Amino acid sequence: MNVEPQNPDGAGLALKGRIAAGHWLLTSAGAKVDLTRRMRCALNATGCRLYVADSSLLSAAFAFADGHFLLPALEDECFIPELIAACIQRQINVLLPSRDAELLFFARHRAVFEASGIRPLVSALDSIELCRDKIRFHAHCLQNGVPVLPRIECPCAAGFPCFVRPRVGAASAGAGRIQSLAHMHALYGEPPWEDLLVQSCCRDDEFSIDALFGPDGEVVQWIARQRIRVKAGESVVSRTVRLPAFEPVINTLASSMRLFGPITLQAFFSPENGVHLIEINPRFGGACALGNEAGLEAPERLVAFVQGDMENFYRLRSLRYDLTLLRYSQDLFI
């Protein structure tokens, strides 16, 4: 059953009108240096500042923002009052979460922040919850005709190797290839494994899709990148590709969920087997630099959206294909 992209819990639609001029905060900034640079450049061009925050002073992104400050852990009871106080002091009225757990937190507490004039840029709560629960998301895809690999309901009888993903997880934590039934028992104990999504191993190429969604849940523009080399769940070598086969899948998801802003999709694809969707992360992806450099320009368009420049937000960009990203570490001395 499809869900119409309405806005009962305050999704992106709450931002249709122009927000009073103010600064932005990127939370859990950590080592997200490229995203910090791009957001800062887009905001500075309009006279606004980008602040970043994290729970550790040892965050590389602190050196590349207009300002930074520490926050307690998300689970700390002081998190909300300290964050609101810090935002009011610095005239910050837009929050850009960058971590999965934060998406859920800010969506659940959206009204608290908006009462203080601070808008979290997150998708609707029900869509974030759906994306985080891989078993529910798999069922949602099947119900809406989105191609996914079949779930192995009885892993004891499964052909091995197979691939296992926990119901809830981030950055590939707990996910991996299982070689045998004994391996399965060693990692996950005795059955039933109701909170595991077990599927056959897919040998098709894996892709990330950087997409930008509008306030009504519509797809504004997207670009795919092939994940050529992956480390700790993130692409370290990837290349933009033109793959029209993803178009109907993305449009179906747009009509069945309520997504907003930067969205990252993961999928397998081969000419022989077509598309098989893996998951959705309703935030900037770890290697989103490639999509933005290739022309998607999501940071600039988000800033335009918040400032009421809908023409710039929706204007289709010219995208560069066969552009390759080689990620590397860099030393920073503070």
State the pTM of this model: 0.90
The tens-digit pLDDT sequence of the chain (334 residues) is 333 333 445 444 444 444 556 899 999 999 999 999 999 999 999 999 999 999 999 999 999 999 999 999 999 999 999 999 999 999 999 999 999 999 999 999 999 999 999 999 999 999 999 999 999 999 999 999 999 999 988 777 667 888 999 998 765 667 888 988 888 888 888 888 889 999 999 999 999 999 999 999 999 999 999 999 988 778 899 999 999 999 999 999 999 999 999 999 999 999 999 999 999 999 999 899 999 999 999 999 999 999 999 999 999 999 999 999 999 999 999 9
Give the pLDDT of residue 19.
55
Place of tokens 């995208």: 319
Give the pLDDT of residue 15.
47
Convert the pLDDT of each residue in 199-213 to its tens digit.
Answer: 999 999 999 999 999
* Alpha-carbon gap, residue 266 to 274, rounded angstroms: 14
Convert the pLDDT of each residue in 40-67 to its tens digit.
Answer: 999 999 999 999 999 999 999 999 999 9
Pairing state of beta strands 261-270 and 234-241?
unpaired
Three-state secondary structure call for residue 177: strand
For the record, the structure tokens of 175 come out as: 């996910």
Three-state secondary structure call for residue 171: coil
Catalogue all structural domains in the chain, each as residue range(s) with its CATH number. Answer: 12-123 (3.40.50.20), 154-200 (no CATH), 203-326 (3.30.470.20)
Place of tokens 């935030």: 283
Distance, first Cα to last Cα, the chain? 53
Residue type, 259: L
- The answer to whether residues 128 and 107 touch, using CB atoms and an 8 Å cutoff, is yes
* DSSP letters for 259-302: --EEEEEEEEEETTTEEEEEEEESS--TTHHHHIIIII-HHHHH
* Alpha-carbon gap, residue 71 to 93, rounded angstroms: 17
- The answer to whether residues 249 and 278 touch, using CB atoms and an 8 Å cutoff, is no
